[in-house]
Amino acid sequence: MFTGIITDIGRVLSVEMRGDTRFTIGTSYDSDGIALGASIACGGACLTVIETGVSAGGGLPHWFAVDVSAETLSKTTLGSWVEGTEVNLERALAFGDELGGHLVTGHVDGLAHLISVHPEGDSHRIMIEVPEGLEGYVAQKGSICLDGVSLTVNEVEDRRFGVNLIPHTWDNTTFRNRVEGDVLNMEVDLLARYVARLMTTSAVHGGK
């Protein structure tokens, strides 16, 4: 589990095509403290660490590697990652950690589109269009996760919703480089997913 609070911006160092695709990601996390098999949310997708090491050159001092299946590549933005792509990173939540955002699983529900980006005071207001079928999971003042970032929904209209990015979020996530037309990994709120499931089950059984 994760919280949607980004703690590092990594960078794709290499992409290797094997049976699965292996990404090596540079990070400021101390690789000595990353156990093999650990989960790290990369751009909002929960991935398993299979190797770690220390970078030989400058820049980000450490790295970790993950293997990604064809299914994950097809259902997330990871299929577009190339060497140099910046990635929002979050270590898995540990018992006793502060829950600063909302509970996030790292399971991407769909690909959302960034419709507009506008400065608003010191912040930025962005408008997002959700994939068809997921609009019912987005509610005003509810939580949403985009590219691994926990955000609060400000307003909703049909399949579009707006969120406000404060300067800290803008400066410390990959949103700082986002432009209109970009595609984002979207995970709906865990509570919304189960409420929708319960309502569907209730309707099927006639409310009994």
Q: Which CATH number goes with the domain that contains 67?
A: 2.40.30.20
pLDDT at 128: 98
Say if 103 falls within a structural domain. Answer: no
Q: Which two tokens stand for residue 158?
A: 């049909």
Same-domain check for residues 72 and 143: no
Residue 127 lies in a domain: yes
Is 97 domain-assigned? Answer: no
Which pLDDT value is given to residue 98? 79
Range of the domain at 161: 110-198
pLDDT for 63 equals 97
In a domain, 148, yes or no: yes
> Where a domain ends, among 91, 122, 149?
91
Q: What mean pLDDT is reported for the chain?
A: 93
The answer on 187 and 148 residing in a single domain is: yes
Tell me how far apart the alpha carbons of residues 18 and 143 are, in angstroms, rounded to a whole number: 36
Q: How far apart are CA 207 and CA 205, in angstroms?
A: 6
pLDDT tens-digit map of 47-99: 999 999 998 766 889 999 999 999 999 999 999 999 999 999 999 988 778 77
pLDDT for residue 58: 66
Residue 126, C-beta contacts closer than 8 angstroms, at least 6 positions apart: 114, 115, 116, 117, 118, 162, 163, 165, 175, 178
Q: How many CB atoms lie within 10 A of CB 120?
A: 11
Do 87 and 114 share a domain, yes or no? no
Give, for all 208 residues of the chain, the pLDDT tens digit: 999 999 999 999 999 998 999 999 999 999 999 999 999 999 999 999 999 999 876 688 999 999 999 999 999 999 999 999 999 999 998 877 877 889 899 999 999 999 999 999 999 999 999 999 999 999 999 999 999 999 999 999 999 999 999 999 999 999 999 999 999 999 999 877 767 767 767 665 565 5
Measured in degrees and rounded to the nearest 5, phi and psi for residue 111 equal: -105, 120
* 207 falls within a domain: no
